[in-house]
Chain A
Amino acid sequence: MISTTQAHPKRSLSLGRWIRPLVAVLVIAFILWRLWTILFVQQVYGAETWVRIGISGLILGGVYAVVALGYTLVYGILFMINFAHGDVMMLGAFAGYFTLEAFDAAGLLNRNLAWSIVCVATAFAAAMLVGMVAAILLERVAYRPLRTAPRLVPLISAIGASLFLENAAQLMFGTARHAYANPNVIGRDAGWVFIVNGKEVLVTYTGALTFVLSILLMIGLLILVKRTKMGKAMRAVAEDKDVAALMGIDVDRVISNSFAISGVLAGAAGVMWGLHIGIIYHYVGFIPGMKAFTAAVLGGIGNVAGAMLGGLVLGVLESLGPAALGVSFQLQDVVAFSILVLVLIFRPTGLLGEVLSEKKM
């Protein structure tokens, strides 16, 4: 008979049992202490600074959320981290860039309000198209042949795909940074001004557009997943691939569709990034990609609403974090990754819980 009760010596159980809560208490205590110091003792920042930081955090968070949606979609079905997702975003950004440059060269970009809107909309459309095509190709070439391989293999392939895309972009578009067009109507240096604590706080047009668009895309995706037939098929395949196939669902097509949707989202995120930040280059997708994955995990992987929430929360925490903890903004990335580590230790299912079939695990 196989005994399951004596699998581990008793010693370790008691050790493991109280280490986690101990660490949790220490971390929370540290954070509270720093917050107390910054907010009440030293009062380094006025209210307007907090508002500024918060706003920039929300905007960034919106972008992370849109990219995180793509990660979550793919992971929910294939249980695989699409490392090259950030690079799809980069390709979308470039597509939008070329579109805007072409319009600008033709003198249409700033002719009047209507034209400007058409130009920007076309840029978004182009980027979404490019993102979709890129994601579908990616799946066909790098992931489909490896569908049945152990987990490690498609992950390596994804890393290879990411390297390939980044370097191809570098070779094709050059190594220099590119400045994104700044149309007058949706400029990144003008916007709405609020008065907080006696000082001016600026919300740029691009920032507002980015945030609003993120929310719209998120809602759109939610509707797609919950209400449409395609969404239902995706959820079915995520639940159990084989049974779904038996039910007559074309699994290959569903997977292609999810990649396509994730590509569309990434492409849009790329243009948002380009318009708001203003500078793109071949490596621009890498860190946002990593952070977006962190956001997806934070919210609960496989969970669409979770990715949204995770993205926003991560954006805000990442921006506020260094300020709240009184450390240098150099450590912004450290804050982001630390959040990831802490979430995975204390609540691995994420804030809203995972929506994955436990059977697969």
Chain B
Amino acid sequence: MNIRSSLRGGFVSGFVSILAVLLGLTGLVGTIVQGWFGFRSQTPGAWALLLAIALWGGARAARSAEVEPWGRVLVAGLLAGALHGLLMAAFTWLVGSLIDSGVALRKWLAQLTPQAVELLTFGLSPAAAAAVVFAALAIGGLVGALLAQASTRYRWRQSLAQRWGTARERFEAVPAVKGFRQHRYSQQILYGAGLLVLLVAPLVLGKYWNYTVGTVGIYVMLGLGLNIVVGMAGLLDLGYAAFFAIGAYTIALLTAPEPHGVMVNFWLVLPLGIALASAAGVLLGIPVLRMRGDYLAIVTLGFGEIIRVLLKSDTLTSFTGGPQGVRAVGGPSILGFRADDRFYVYLIILGIALVAFLTYRLQHSRAGRAWMAMREDEDVAEVMGIYTLKYKLLAFAIGAGFAGLGGAIFAARNKYANPEDFALLASINVLSLVIIGGMGSIPGIILGALVLKGLPEILRQLEDYRMLAFGALLIVMMILRPEGLWPSKRRAMELHESVE
């Protein structure tokens, strides 16, 4: 704790606050809080955010492992808060004056709506508003520092952790819980119950939730497929959506009335779609066999883009349907019954089960061990007699096949296939859910799909900020927990070994 840390704390808070205002986060938090508590305006929420940042800045400034005299803490916090306040005050004054003198700031900085600006100025003159902001944030910094010091001095963090620990122990000591955990089949019972819920769910959920669950399911399938390429074989594939597209378009082109009019039964075309996607995986694999990790990533990215542009292009429109896509894609039918949304959820669950089963078997097979060895050190693996080329191609083929399956179901369910659905963003989505969920771990990928695809559906209010949060989440996860939310133990070990 010294001058430098105070200045840094203040500066960072100032920067973050200004960014928050420019991004419209103050307004967003204000609206959400307003909705929760029924306030009359966005001010409470917005200022809660700003003060929280001030508290954090002050806490950072006063962070220290030892107990410090209160005087020093006061100074540190005040300094940080003052810097933060100064920056925000200057910003407020600048914005206020510019707007008062008639400059249409909103034209250039889209989030500075009159409402947003008023959150800062309270309708006062720029100078007065600046003073208010300065005072508020300086005090906030001070309080933050005091709180941080109190936490160190009175050991709040440790006592909280202790209480959590004791509570947990007590919970686990409860005879019912204890008995459950030690019961031989408790894990199986849980899985069984989960399976039951899964089987019954499509019947009670409405169309919308069935559709959402189905989408999450397809992404789980894709995630498991990519997991084989990235997680198990360690090959970073950024063009995964290309295989997705191939599966989808095979179904689409062979079951839709246009552009070809060949309307083959879905069940016959499905294996063909998977096979073609696998073949594409092998074809992609061959040239990239000897490439280094980053080059592999870029080449696969290029490949994905090439497929998308080709699907959309004029030259191939007569074959692929062009940018309009392929409509009225045929779907599966069982004994004459047309597929409806519930059927698709079951089909997807079945698909996931199949893919998960295959993944599990692969993990514990010779191929799985070969991949593990290749991941650790490719050269050593070669020397030990592992035919890396073959296993790399195998990884691509199987991963692509899974994507083909997902793509086929995707196109049939939407009754539509369109090149734009297979853009780079789709590949990045799948990669992110594998990474965030946990590479190499089946439950992790399911969790990742839920978080990345299901959550935005629930939090539609945050629509505008979704991708922003997404990007920030990727960075934060990589720094704090690169192995993902629910990793396989092995990956966690691997990653933390190298990080430390």
Note whether A and B contact each other (Cβ less than 8 A): yes
Q: Decide yes or no whether B443 CB sits under 8 A from chain A.
A: no
- The reply to whether A340 and B298 contact each other, CB–CB distance below 8 Å, is yes
Q: Which residue of the partner chain, among B110, B236, B482, contacts A174 with CB atoms under 8 Å?
A: B110
Q: Given the known A-B contacts A8-B389, A161-B475, A167-B471, are A151 and B294 also in contact in the complex, defined by CB atoms under 8 Å? A: yes
In the docked arrangement, what's the CA distance between A6 and B103, Å?
76
Q: In the complex, are the beta carbons of A171 and B111 less than 8 A apart?
A: yes
| Interface contact A164-B471, CB-CB below 8 Å | yes
- Chain B 284-298: CB-based contact to A (< 8 A → 1; otherwise 0): 001110111111011
A148-164 residues with Cβ-Cβ distance < 8 A to B are: 148-157, 159-164
Q: Pick the interface stretch among B33-41, B59-67, B198-206, B460-468.
A: B460-468
Q: A146-B478, A148-B498 are in contact. Are A348 and B389 (CB under 8 A)?
A: no
Q: Interface segment, B161-169, B220-228, B300-308?
A: B300-308
In the complex, are the beta carbons of A331 and B315 less than 8 A apart? yes
Tell yes or no: A14 within 8 A of B by CB: no
Complex CA distance for A153 and B482, rounded to whole angstroms: 7
**Is A348 a contact partner of B108 (Cβ separation < 8 A)?**
no
B356 an interface residue at 8 Å Cβ cutoff?
Answer: no
* Contact across chains for A345 and B287 when beta carbons are under 8 A apart: yes
Interface 1/0 per residue, B470-500 and A, CB below 8 Å: 1111110011001000000000001100111
Q: Which of B309, B384, B479 contacts A146 (CB 8 A)?
A: B479
Segment among A38-46, A107-115, A220-228, A289-297 that sits at the interface with chain B: A289-297
- Whether B474 lies near A171 (C-beta < 8 A) is no
- Rounded to whole Å, the gap between the CB of B226 and the closest CB of chain A is 12
Known: A330-B314, A333-B309. A7 touches B479 (CB 8 A): no
In whole angstroms, what is the CA distance A105 to B389 when docked? Answer: 62
Q: Is A277 an interface residue (CB 8 A)?
A: no
Would B294 and A79 count as touching, CB distance under 8 A? yes
- Chain B residue nearest to A2 in the complex (CB): B383
Complex contact A334–B309 (CB within 8 A): yes
Contacts of B287 in A (CB 8 A): 341, 344-345
A-B contact count (CB 8 A): 168
CA distance A172 to B105 in the complex (A): 11
Interface of A is mostly: helix
Distance from B45 Cβ to chain A, minimum over Cβ atoms (Å) = 18
Q: Residue of B at shortest CB range from A174? A: B110
Of chain B, the residue at the smallest CB distance from A20 is B287
Kindly identify which residue among A4, A7, A157 contacts B475, using a CB–CB cutoff of 8 Å. A157
A245 close to chain B: CB less than 8 A: no
Q: Which residue of B lies closest to A163 (CB)?
A: B471
> A7-B387, A160-B471, A334-B306 given as contacts; is B499 within 8 A of A149 (CB)?
yes
Residue-wise, chain B 309-323 has the 8 Å CB interface mask toward A (1 for contact) of: 110111100000000
- The reply to whether A340 and B474 form a contact with Cβ atoms under 8 Å apart is no
Choice from B236, B472, B500 contacting A152 with Cβ under 8 Å: B236
A-side contacts of B108, CB under 8 Å: 98, 101, 173
CB within 8 Å of A: which B114-154 residues: none
Distance of A146 Cα from B200 Cα, bound (Å): 44
User: Contacts A149-B495, A160-B473 given: A173-B110 contact, CB under 8 Å?
Assistant: yes
B109 contacts the other chain (CB 8 A): yes
CB-CB under 8 A from A153, the residues of chain B are 478, 482, 495
Q: Which residues of B contact A4 (CB under 8 A)?
A: 383
Number of A residues whose C-beta is below 8 Å from B?
62
Contact of B23 among A16, A157, A172 (CB under 8 A): A172
Residues on A with C-beta less than 8 A from B271 are: none
* B24 interfacial by beta-carbon distance below 8 Å: yes
Picked from B292, B382, B384, the residue with its CB within 8 Å of the CB of A361 is: B292
B428 within 8 A of A: yes
Question: When A7-B383, A142-B475 are in contact, do A150 and B292 touch as well, CB less than 8 Å?
Answer: no
Given that A162-B471, A337-B302, A337-B306 are contacting pairs, would A171 and B294 also be in contact in the complex, using a CB cutoff of 8 Å? no
* Bound complex: CA A344 to CA B432 (Å): 26
Contact A149 B482 (CB under 8 A): yes
| A79-B294, A293-B298, A297-B298 as given contacts; A155 in contact with B236, CB under 8 Å | yes
Rounded to whole angstroms, the CA-CA distance of A19 and B283 in the bound complex is 12
Within the complex, what minimum Cβ distance (angstroms) separates A209 from chain B? 25
Which residues of chain B in 95-116 are interfacial with respect to chain A, using CB atoms and an 8 Å cutoff? 103, 108-111
**CB neighbours of B384 from chain A (8 A):** 2
Query: In the docked arrangement, what's the CA distance between A193 and B224, Å?
Result: 58
Query: Interface code A164-190, partner B: CB below 8 Å = 1, 0 otherwise?
Result: 111110011110000000000000000
What are 16 inter-chain pairs, A to B, with CB distance below 8 A? A6-B385, A19-B286, A80-B294, A81-B298, A148-B499, A150-B494, A160-B472, A166-B467, A167-B467, A173-B110, A328-B315, A330-B312, A331-B310, A333-B305, A337-B303, A361-B292
A→B interface (CB under 8 Å): 2, 4, 6-9, 12, 16, 19, 75, 79-81, 98, 101, 105, 141-142, 145-146, 148-157, 159-168, 171-174, 290, 293-294, 297, 327-328, 330-331, 333-334, 337-338, 340-341, 344-345, 348, 361
The 4 A-B pairs at the shortest CB distance, nearest first, are namely A160-B474, A163-B471, A164-B471, A337-B302
